[in-house]
């Protein structure tokens, strides 16, 4: 049982690493385009989709696709990372219980 739990913990950790690398590449691609066009918004706006739509997109309508892509990739990567971290914590707690 311990070996299976250790395997799951390692597998989820590796998945977390690959998700991080994949989304880092996606986010940096969108971010690079936004920086080139001098699109600016606050970090707090990233987690509030409605605020981005209401306040940022009207300022830069020609870059709406890049802005929404950047925000969506950031939000999705944070969500996936939280799920994987919770899984690692749960498997670690179960492993500690069985030891």
Q: How many separate domains does the chain show?
A: 1
Domain span holding position 53: 2-98
Instruction: Walk along the chain (99 residues) and give the pLDDT tens digit of each residue.
Output: 788 888 888 888 888 888 888 888 888 888 899 899 898 888 888 888 898 889 888 999 998 998 998 999 888 888 888 888 898 889 888 888 877
pLDDT value at residue 12: 84
pTM equals 0.75
d(CA 11, CA 13): 5
Q: How many CB atoms lie within 10 A of CB 52?
A: 19
pLDDT value at residue 44: 84
């Amino acid at each position: 049982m311990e070996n299976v739990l250790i395997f799951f913990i390692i597998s989820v950790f590796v998945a977390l690493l690959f998700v991080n690398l994949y989304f880092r590449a996606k986010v940096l691609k969108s971010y690079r385009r936004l920086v080139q066009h001098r699109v600016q918004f606050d970090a707090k706006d990233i987690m509030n989709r409605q605020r981005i739509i209401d306040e940022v997109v009207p300022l830069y309508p020609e870059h709406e696709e890049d802005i929404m892509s950047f925000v969506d990739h950031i939000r999705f990567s944070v969500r996936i990372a939280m799920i994987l971290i919770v899984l690692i914590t749960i498997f670690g707690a179960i492993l500690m219980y069985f030891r």
